[in-house]
Amino acid sequence: MKKIVLTYGFVAGAVVTAFMLFGVYLFMNKPDFDAGMLLGYTGMIIAFSFSYVGIKNYRDKENNGEITFLKALSIGLLISFIASTIYVGVWLIEYYCFFTDFMDKYAESALKKIDKTTLSAIEIKNKTAEIMQYKEMYKSPIMVILLTYAEALLPTGLIIPVICALILKRKAK
């Protein structure tokens, strides 16, 4: 199991890193946070889909075609965690070495997108405060790490392994 988790975790990490690096290339030529987010989550979905391959390989090759939901889920989550850790590490290098002004640009872009025609003054103030709070949190390396893990693991890195475990579980005959 260890070999499968490491292999597919590193493959998934390589996929998510490739998408991230391509996104950085695009961002350097034309900063577009929406396109970057779409590209990033596409990469995460593809990368975390290696949970399926890893679980299936374990079930079919090492466990005689049987696997419980919990075992399948644990394999999928471990693969997601390895890929997410690689994602976080690459982002830390990119952020601290190449994009030290990322949050300034992101906050500026997010503030411009606030629809001032349909929101009340209080809603605008609250959205502005939320954006500024994220900008402030990004000043702490620990918060950068935690927020980046949350970005990767919470939406896709947890959901995809659950779906894969549900699809691939197979009880003993």
Q: Which run of H or of E encompasses 80? A: helix 69-97
For residue 147, what pLDDT is reported?
94
Percent of the chain residues topping a pLDDT of 70 = 99
pLDDT at 172 over 90: no
CA–CA–CA angle 65, 50, 162 (5° rounding): 70
Residue 112 to residue 98: CA distance in whole angstroms: 24
Mean per-residue pLDDT for 15-44?
85
DSSP state of 59: I
Sign of CA dihedral 141, 147, 153, 156: negative
For residue 59, what pLDDT is reported?
95
pTM of the model: 0.87
For residue 111, what pLDDT is reported?
87
- Determine how many CB atoms are found less than 10 A away from the CB of residue 31: 14
For residue 159, what pLDDT is reported?
94
Residue 168 to residue 173: CA distance in whole angstroms: 15
Kindly report, residue by residue over 122-171, the tens digit of the pLDDT.
888 888 999 999 999 999 999 999 999 998 888 899 999 999 999 999 88
Q: N- to C-terminal Cα distance for the chain?
A: 22
Contact 2, 82 (CB under 8 A): no
Residue 10 to residue 3: CA distance in whole angstroms: 11
Mean of all residue pLDDT scores within the chain = 91
Kindly report, residue by residue over 37-62, the tens digit of the pLDDT.
888 889 999 999 999 999 999 999 99
Q: Which run of H or of E encompasses 116? A: none
